[in-house]
Chain A
Amino acid sequence: MNTIILQIASRYTLPLLLLFSVFILLRGHYLPGGGFVGGLVASIALVLHAFANGIKKTRELVKIHPGFLMPVGLSTSLLSGLFPMILGKPFLTGMWYPHSVPVIGSLGTALFFDIGVYLVVVGATLTIIFSIIEAP
């Protein structure tokens, strides 16, 4: 699709949408949102970019293969679950840093778990959609 409007628009919407997705991810613990929705929003942002500018441009922009995000995300989630075990607590116990951190808010294993979910969702969605776009 070669529409100049969409191309220009996607240039501005991409960073906005990506930031928004992170925002959704971080607010998830208190307000509607979370890693799953955040990941989907981020995927939509990149798919929109791919529609406007062609898949090649998006691939150049992302640099790494999106499939790579899946193992990274899975390990993040798994490690956040394993972390409490080091301290002798059951697998996946929610543990929190007692003080509030600026911007992020409270910091805990659940947040890292959610970040893992976010990465897996982005990785899986983009792998599927990019593969279909590129299929001959």
Chain B
Amino acid sequence: MLLAVLLPFLLAIFLVIPFRKYESLVARTVWIVPAGIFSFFLQTYLSGNTGITGKASLSQIIPYSLQWNLDGLSLLFVLMISGIGTLIFIYAAAYMKGHPYRIRLMGFLSLFMGAMLGLVLSDHVMNLFLFWELTSISSFFLIGFNNEEKASRQSALKALIVTGGGGLILFGGLMLLGQIASTYSINEMIALRGNIVADPFYPVIMVLIILGAATKSAQFPFHFWLPGAMKAPTPVSAYLHSATMVKAGVYLLARFTPVIGGTELWQYTLIALGGITMLYAAFHALLRTDLKGILAYSTISALGMMVFLIGIGTEASLLAVGMFILVHALYKAALFLITGIIDHETGSRDITKLRGLRKVMWPVALAGVLAAISNAGIPPSLGFMGKDLIYESTLHHIFQPIWLTSAVVITNIMLLIAGFNAGWRPFSGNLPSAFSKVHLPEKSMWVPPLLLAVLGLGFGIIPSVIESPLMQDIVMSLHGVSWAGHLALWHGFNTVLLLSGITIVTGIALYFALPQSSKIAAKITGLTALSPENIWTKIALGFNFLAIKITAVLQNGFLRLYILIILAFVGSLLAYKLANQIYFTIDYSYLSPVTVYEAIIVGILIVSILFTVFSTSRLVAVASMGVVGMAICMIFVFYSAPDLAMTQFTIDTLTVVLFVLVLYRLPKFIKLTFAIRHIRDAVVSIGFGTLIALLAMEVLDNQPDRTVSKFYGDNSYVLAKGKNIVNVIIVDFRGADTLVEIIVLSIAAIGVFSLLKLRIRQSQKIE
């Protein structure tokens, strides 16, 4: 299991190698890896070995173990991730043919696949969170894949900010949950559900987790990043932004249903959230004329429906969720891949222009029709069965069954029209002469969508393939009780069948009746000022504005003010602390007598300080500063700190050199400042100096705990074979600190170097 998750990561690393003339071979064969993972999980499924939990320690060096949990829900996801992943890899190799970064795309896809597999297999919530963030990051790179386009980069950033921000919120929720449950294992949390739900923090946890899921699964009002994400190459949209990643939020809610679900608060929040999303987005899907736009909004709507169903939370609705996740992944990925083919061959994605393509690419048309049928829920497709389950669960809900059912029916009618717009409209009618030279792409492009579409039909005809144990296990893992029912196309004449009939008939009628033009879309553009995306952008710009204002005040560029503020602040903190706590008394009998040379050194110190402060020449001031440093060195020498003295000596030499070099470039010293500023500076510096002196004496008086220094003293020769304790501490006991310090030193040097070598031309200054 560990290998199955690590393999995609290893593949991603492997794909960093520049392959040059083997590029084509590599691109055409990488699908073997996801295929292998798929067959591993398929074999696990067929042998009935679900319900596996396990631990895998990464190594002995890194004390970190991964807790796995492979139950019905995880299994559904891993099969989708690796199965659809395989087809996406095959498709992408052909779709991106000739693109210089084809391998890079596959590397990112592979990284994403690993993250997604890890996400759905983790039992430990922090592991889950780690992989959750990784999917956001890989999604960022994939959306911004065409990194030369500004729109692409902006969409990538928007998606990262929304999903990454949601990730942070989720992190808070998971931490709180872990604290309350005092375990981070989801399996163990399920047993503690009663305590968690009764906790006063429960509503907070619930809201945080739902917010995290809502950003990832593009729920209203966070949905706008998903249509933007369509800037990614089509295989990416098919894989991440319809079939797998956006379902991570749904997965999370489903996964936590047995832990924090089932309360009224949970149900109503999710029903409202999902309900608004599915209606809003389905309506928007009708207004789009760009194929990918239609698919993006219908995906948001479908995600809303999944959240809605999780909110209902009955056995029937949870079964419907599991079913709908599978149905949706199959037909939506197929529709995306078909869109990719159309775009690739004709160069257009506008449904007002595309017509009659069935005459030039019939297998693609067949896939499109099958996917549209599954989307519409026309028997005998799997979609029909999924739709039936949805209606069944809303009809039997205790809370407002009529309202819920009508919301779902309306959404389904709109989704049906959107599905036909995407899967059928481009292929119907007469072929315009502009497209007469369009031809069928190579097999590896049209086989994957056809296969997905056929599976959507095939599972509907033979539902027993997925019924047991897959769907039964999903209900088991979400609801805690095993489900004994059977999936079937025919349930007899009942309300559900009637509703299905209404959906199909109304939908198809409206498909032909509604005018297909961009006129309606143009009418509602006046409302964009109120759209969540616009409000979001305004907030982001407001932050920018605020940041500029704050920076202008705090980072005003006057070094002397920075120092003044820092000293005054630290000084007042120190003064506040010391004001209540000065206990020291100076015991003169302990002090050694003052020698002549000490008195001389102190005399030199005082004189050179006066010189530094009152000199009108900068050079004199710097030189006297140097004298101060040297005098301090001497004091170190007297009081047996030779290491300190040596360091201070060399540092002071270099400081003087640096000062001279910098002063050399400054204009001549002119006395411009006012007397009042001199007094202010004097007060701050004398006050700060006095405080430090007081602090030093206080420390001297309260002998601190000596265990650490005693340890170093006792062990520096025994353990580290060194007699110079200072050096042993630096290179051995606290070696890691030193390592970081020299890294910091290098960064500082690089910083100075690049600032001084930087030549900003006037035209380049700021865009």
Residues of A participating in the B interface, judged by any CB pair closer than 8 Å: 24, 28-37, 40-41, 43-44, 47, 51, 67, 70-71, 73-74, 77-78, 81, 85, 91-92, 94, 96, 106, 108, 110, 113-114, 116-117, 120-121, 123-125, 127-129, 131-135
Contact = CB atoms under 8 A, between A and B. Distances in A.
Contacts of A120: 742, 745-746
B654 A47 contact: yes
Interface string B742-761: 11011011101100110000
23 contacts: A29-B723, A33-B646, A33-B727, A35-B730, A37-B643, A37-B647, A40-B654, A43-B654, A44-B650, A73-B742, A81-B739, A94-B721, A94-B732, A110-B732, A110-B735, A120-B746, A121-B745, A127-B749, A127-B753, A128-B748, A132-B658, A132-B756, A135-B756
Contacts of A96: 721
Counting chain A CB atoms within 10 Å of each CB, the highest count among B653, B657, B757 belongs to B657
B723 A123 contact: no
B666 interface: no
B248 to A, nearest CB: 35
Contacts of A67: 749-750, 753
A14 to B, nearest CB: 15
Contact of B731 (A32, A110, A129, A133): A110
B480 interface: no
A47 B212 CA distance: 57
A74 B742 contact: yes
A35 B731 contact: yes
Contact of A30 (B723, B746, B756): B723
B720 interface: yes
B728 interface: yes
Contacts of B661: 129, 132-133
B648 to A, nearest CB: 10
Interface in B375-393: none
Nearest to A42: B650
Nearest to A126: B749
- Which 4 residue pairs across A and B have the least CB separation, nearest first? A124-B749, A40-B650, A32-B642, A120-B742
Given A34-B726, A85-B61, A92-B735, A131 B650 contact: no
A69 to B, nearest CB: 10
Given A114-B731, A117-B742, 6 more contacts: A28-B724, A41-B650, A92-B736, A94-B731, A106-B721, A131-B753
Given A40-B650, A70-B746, A32 B752 contact: no
B721 A77 contact: no
A8 to B, nearest CB: 20
Interface in B607-655: 642-643, 646-647, 650-651, 653-654
Contacts of B742: 73-74, 77, 116-117, 120-121
A128 B662 CA distance: 12
B520 interface: no
Nearest to B748: A124
B51 interface: no
Interface string B53-73: 000000001000000000000
A71 to B, nearest CB: 8
B712 to A, nearest CB: 13
B722 interface: yes
Contacts of B726: 32, 34
B735 A81 contact: yes
Given A36-B647, A91-B736, A132 B662 contact: yes
Given A85-B61, A92-B736, A96-B721, A131 B756 contact: yes
Contacts of B732: 92, 94, 110, 113
Contacts of B643: 32-34, 37
B719 interface: yes
A32 B61 CA distance: 35
A19 to B, nearest CB: 16
A70 B722 contact: no
A60 to B, nearest CB: 20
Q: Which of B721, B726, B727 has the most CB of A within 10 A?
A: B727
Contacts of B464: none
Contacts of A44: 650, 653-654
From B730, B746, B749, residue with most partner A Cβ within 10 Å: B749
Contacts of B727: 28-29, 33-34, 114
A4 to B, nearest CB: 21
A114 B738 CA distance: 10
Contact of A29 (B728, B735, B749): B728
Contacts of A114: 727, 730-731
A114 B752 CA distance: 24
Contacts of A51: 657
A3 B223 CA distance: 73
Contacts of B749: 67, 70, 123-125, 127-128
Interface string B654-688: 10011001100100000000000000000000000
A117 B730 CA distance: 10
Contacts of B748: 124, 128
A37 B742 CA distance: 13
A41 B654 CA distance: 9
